[in-house]
Amino acid sequence: MTPKPPPYVPGHSLLAGRTAVVTAAAGAGIGGATARRFLEEGARVVIGDAHERRLGESTAALAEEFGADRVASLPCDVTDQRQVDALFALAAERHGGLDVVVNNAGLGGTADLVDMTDDQWAKVLDVTLNGTFRCTRAALCRFKEQDGGGVVVNNASVIGWRAQRGQAHYAAAKAGVMALTRCAALEAADFGVRVNAVAPSLAMHPHLVKVTTPELLASLTEREAFGRYAEPWEIANVIVFLASGYASYMTGETVSVSSQRA
C-alpha cells in the first residue's frame, strides 16, 4: 500500500502582518505552496516568476481566495538584476516594507560531465546559485536600510550533500547555495537579519513529472524513509517555521526536509 501524506496543517497566524517576497512562486511547486502557506499564516505576499502566464493565473487564484490587497506579483527572471530589484521595489511600494524573502528559483537538468556543455553548466548555475545571490543581496540591502530585522530562506537541496549521476551542475549550485547561506548569515547578523535554508529531497509536483523519468522518480522515492515523496506544502511548512519567530535563534543553518541525513 502506498504511504499517504499526513493531513494538511491549518494556519496559526505565525506570520501575521508580515510582508514576504517569494521567487518562482507560480504553479504547484514549492514556491507556490510557500506563497499559499504564508497567506494562510497571515502574511502579505509578493510573488515573482519567469513564467508570466502561470504567474498571472496563480496571482488571480490567490487574490480571489485571500484578497487582492494581500497578493501582488511581477514577472521576474532572477538572472536579471533589474527584474530582481523591481520585484523588491514592488513589495516596498505595495506594503511599505519587507520582512521575509524566500529564494526558491532554481533550474535543473540531467547530463553527464563528459557530455555537458558550458552553456548547460552556466545556465543552471546562473539561475540556481547566482539568482539566489542576486536576491539575497537585494534582500540584505533593503533590510539594512530598514534599520535591521528580516529573514531570508533559501531553497537548497539534499543533492548539495550527496552525489547523483548527471547532476554535477545542479549539485554544485545547491552546495553553493548552502555555503552562501552560511556566509550571508554571519554578515547579516550585524543588523539583526537571519539567513537559513531548507534542503528538500523529493517534493512531487506536475512540472517534475514532465522533466523526470518514472524510473528515476521510483528510485528516488525508494530512498525516502517514509516510502513516499514529500508534498510541496510539507516543505513550505518548514519554510514557514524558519520565517517565523519560532526560529529566532537560528541562522546559517540548512535544514534537511527529508530522511537523507539520517
All 3 cell numbers of residue 247?
A: 526560529
Is 170 assigned a catalytic role?
Answer: yes
Please list the alpha-helical segments (H only) found in 130-227: 131-145, 168-188, 206-211, 214-222
Which of 8, 170, 229, 249 is the catalytic position?
Answer: 170
Closest by CA to 236, choosing from 95, 86, 45, is 45
The three grid cell numbers given for residue 87, joined into one nine-digit string:
520585484
| Through-space distance between the first and last CA atoms of the chain, rounded to whole angstroms | 24
* Distance separating alpha carbons of residues 142 and 127, to the nearest angstrom: 21
What does each C-alpha distance from 104 to 21, 47, 111, 219 come to in angstroms?
A: 10, 11, 22, 25
Write the DSSP symbol of residue 66. H
Is the distance from CB of 241 to CB of 12 less than 8 angstroms? no
49 touches 83 (CB < 8 A): no
Instruction: For residues 128 and 105, give the distance between their C-alpha atoms in angstroms, rounded to a whole number.
Output: 6
Over its C-alpha atoms, the chain yields an Rg (Å, rounded) of 17
Active site residues: 170
